[in-house]
């Protein structure tokens, strides 16, 4: 990895203001971000801006997305500036050239730490999404109505973004949670009318909420 004293040689400083999106999740990194100074929040961003779910923060000087680059994968987090920050964008070729200078033992340690960081990030996001499923299950049970055939159903009388706001999650998170519940056979139907073929399973899912 590049020695910190050499970063300024390869990349000019870039200043960004509060609220700036420095890296979007699910996008492949075309360079590597190094934070000279300031604080960057990590989490899952709302479509309108700002973080709906905050999973941590980084204070410079520090690498921001090097772990994802080392593992050859897309960034799993949205990275948003908290206040003014100064950062540098190191080209991938330059970053990779710096890695070749590391002794094999140290390079292995760096790779292991990057893998552990990515796995912990994936776990945190997974738990966050599981929590979203539990909230959806709870909301569905609270709004369930009996059917003439003895089953249960829910009529979505509000826009999904309004329901998501009630649950404290982003609209796209709500849609993904409904999709996973449908894949598990816990809800059925399309549009504004949802059938609840397994309400007992929904109750079990909702019972795991803190």
Question: Collapsing DSSP states into helix, strand and coil, what is residue 27?
Answer: coil
Model confidence pLDDT, tens digit, residues 41-94: 998 887 666 777 788 899 999 999 999 999 999 998 999 999 999 999 999 999
Six token digits for residue 116: 């552990």
Six token digits for residue 178: 């409904």
Q: pLDDT under 50 in the chain at which residues?
A: 3-5
User: Are 148 and 97 in a shared domain?
Assistant: no
Q: Which CATH number characterizes residue 21's domain?
A: 2.60.120.10
User: Are 22 and 72 in a shared domain?
Assistant: yes
Residue 81 falls within a domain, yes or no? Answer: yes
- As for how many domains the chain has, the answer is 2
Residue 64 falls within a domain, yes or no? Answer: yes
Range of the domain at 43: 4-101
User: Are 83 and 148 in a shared domain?
Assistant: no
Residue 193 falls within a domain, yes or no? Answer: yes
Residue 121 falls within a domain, yes or no? Answer: no
pTM: 0.63
Residue 125 is predicted with a pLDDT of 80
> Which helix (H) or strand (E) element contains residue 125?
helix 104-142
């Amino acid at each position: 990895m590049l020695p910190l004293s050499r970063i300024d040689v390869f990349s000019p400083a870039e200043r960004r203001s509060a609220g700036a999106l420095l890296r979007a999740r699910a996008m492949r990194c075309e360079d590597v971000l190094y934070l000279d100074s300031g604080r960057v929040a990590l989490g899952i961003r709302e479509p309108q801006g700002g973080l709906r779910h905050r999973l941590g923060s980084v204070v410079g000087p520090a690498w921001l997305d090097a772990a994802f680059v080392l593992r050859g994968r897309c960034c799993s987090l949205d990275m948003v500036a908290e206040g003014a920050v100064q950062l540098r964008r190191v080209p991938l070729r330059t970053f990779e050239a710096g890695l070749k200078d590391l002794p094999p033992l140290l390079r292995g340690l760096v790779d292991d730490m990057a893998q552990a960081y990515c796995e912990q990030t994936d776990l945190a996001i997974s738990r966050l999404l599981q929590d979203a499923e539990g909230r959806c299950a709870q909301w569905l049970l609270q709004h369930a109505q009996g059917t003439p055939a003895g089953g249960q159903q829910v009529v979505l009388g509000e826009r999904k973004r309004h329901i998501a706001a009630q649950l404290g999650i982003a609209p796209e998170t709500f849609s993904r949670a409904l999709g996973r519940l449908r894949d598990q056979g816990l809800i059925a139907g399309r549009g504004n009318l949802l059938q609840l073929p397994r309400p007992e399973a929904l109750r079990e899912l909702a019972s795991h909420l803190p």
